[in-house]
DNA sequence: CGTGCTAGGTTGGATTTTCAATCCCAGGAG
DNA sequence: CTCCTGGGATTGAAAATCCAACCTAGCACG
């Protein structure tokens, strides 16, 4: 029933592509765990945020952990799939820093190695950046 | 007036984060240049697609080039900023391949070096993947 | 001439989402 | 008893999206 090209980009965006989903994930990557904090730091409406978090939990991107029984209270943690989105968030951040944001980058990361983090996406085989001229698709998903 | 954390991820998503924007860009990366083709291959409504393409052109991500005068007809090309989004699309594709898609990856790329492309995002300093444990933010944008 | 086709949209109206504010519930503090 | 916190659910209005139909300009067919 889904139209358009069969494509993992489209499938990924069906999971994390709605408004607020990636921003909620950003806050969770930054260490925020609780609903109210995520709502405030993203600016999302509480009802929409609740729906997004539920969807991300259902999709296996986040895990909802109860940290108190009476009354029940929860924290959100990234799963492995959620942590695997970190390169995408860092890529968006780098792109926003370079092409959208005015002035100093608002957020700075330190890599596990100790250096200030500058993320680059490379070809695993040769180590050169992926967006070199000459990079091209050799198999395409069909359009339905 | 914008609520939430000052953050380049949010700013990037204001430009390319709406529905269909990244899928339109995907088609353009795959070499499609014309409105009807992009509409068909993404599945987007024509009115929404027209609005998105206009916005991406205004934002400097795409360039609209007239290739015929009477009647006027146009093609869409990525700008440098648009090409700089390729790592993000490839990252989403890889994530979708691994965590969402069932079966063989529908799309395959060849890198400029000749190898089948497997994209990895690394720390420019040490060359290790960015999502190693221990990677963390050292400066945060303020929440407004 | 009249019909149909192509390309690149725009328009209208119905349907969905999103929004902000309020409400709810449970427990603890004063 | 009342207020505060945390984590949502509810509600009614506003905005975005969807689909189908239409438009314009030129070309081609019969």
pTM: 0.94
Closest CA-bearing residue to C1' of C27: A71
Q: What distance in Å separates the CA atoms of residue A138 and residue B107, rounded to the nearest whole number?
A: 8
Closest CA-bearing residue to C1' of C20: A45
C-beta atoms of A125 and B113 within 8 A? yes
% of chain A beyond a pLDDT of 90? 93
Give the confidence band of B3 by pLDDT, cuts at 50, 70, 90.
confident
What does DSSP assign to residue B74? E
B50 touching A (Cβ < 8 Å) = no
Q: What distance in Å separates the CA atoms of residue A51 and residue A45, rounded to the nearest whole number?
A: 10
Residue B46 reports pLDDT greater than 90: yes
pLDDT in tens, B72-126: 899 999 999 999 999 999 999 999 999 999 999 999 999 999 999 999 999 999 9
A84 touching B (Cβ < 8 Å) = yes
Residues in B closer than 8 angstroms to A58, CB to CB, are none
* A71 vs B10: which has the higher pLDDT: B10
Give the confidence band of B144 by pLDDT, cuts at 50, 70, 90.
confident
Residue A1 reports pLDDT greater than 50: no
Residue B56 reports pLDDT greater than 90: yes
| B121 three-class SS | strand
Q: What distance in Å separates the CA atoms of residue A9 and residue B100, rounded to the nearest whole number?
A: 10
B78 CA to D26 C1' distance (Å): 28
Measured at the CA of A76, the angle between CA B23 and CA A13, to 5 degrees, comes to: 5
Residue B4 reports pLDDT greater than 60: yes
CB atoms within 10 A of CB A79: 15
Give the confidence band of B1 by pLDDT, cuts at 50, 70, 90.
very low
Phi, then psi, of B77 in degrees rounded to 5 = -120, 150
A130 touching B (Cβ < 8 Å) = yes
Which nucleotides of strand D lie within 7 A of protein CB?
6-11, 16-21, 24-26
Chain B interface disruption, residue of A30, A46, A112, most B CBs within 10 A: A112
B125 CA to D21 C1' distance (Å): 57
What does DSSP assign to residue A69? T
Q: What distance in Å separates the CA atoms of residue B140 and residue B124, rounded to the nearest whole number?
A: 21
B39 CA to D29 C1' distance (Å): 29
pLDDT in tens, A3-62: 899 999 999 999 999 999 999 999 999 999 999 999 999 999 999 999 999 999 999 999
CA of B35 to nearest chain A CA: how many angstroms apart? 14
For residue B25, give the nearest of B62, B80, B73, B64 by alpha carbon. Answer: B62
For residue A128, give the nearest of B110, B94, B98 by alpha carbon. Answer: B110
B46 touching A (Cβ < 8 Å) = no
Mean pLDDT for the stretch of residues A85-108: 97
Nucleotide nearest to A20 (CA to C1'): C18
| Nearest neighbour of A4 by CB, restricted to B12, B15, B41 | B41
């Amino acid at each position: 029933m889904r139209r358009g090209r069969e494509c993992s980009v489209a499938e990924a965006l069906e999971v994390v592509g709605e408004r607020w989903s990636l921003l909620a994930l950003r806050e969770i990557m930054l260490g925020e765990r609780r609903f109210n904090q995520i709502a405030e730091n993203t600016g999302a409406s509480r009802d929409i945020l609740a729906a997004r978090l539920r969807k991300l939990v259902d999709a296996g991107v986040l895990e909802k952990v109860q940290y108190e029984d009476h009354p029940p209270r929860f924290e959100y943690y990234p799963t492995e799939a959620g942590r695997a989105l970190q390169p995408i968030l860092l890529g968006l951040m780098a792109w926003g820093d370079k092409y959208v944001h005015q002035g100093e980058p608002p957020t700075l990361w330190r890599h596990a190695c100790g250096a200030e983090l500058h993320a680059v996406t490379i070809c695993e085989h040769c180590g050169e950046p992926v967006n070199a001229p000459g990079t091209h698709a050799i198999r395409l998903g069909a359009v339905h």
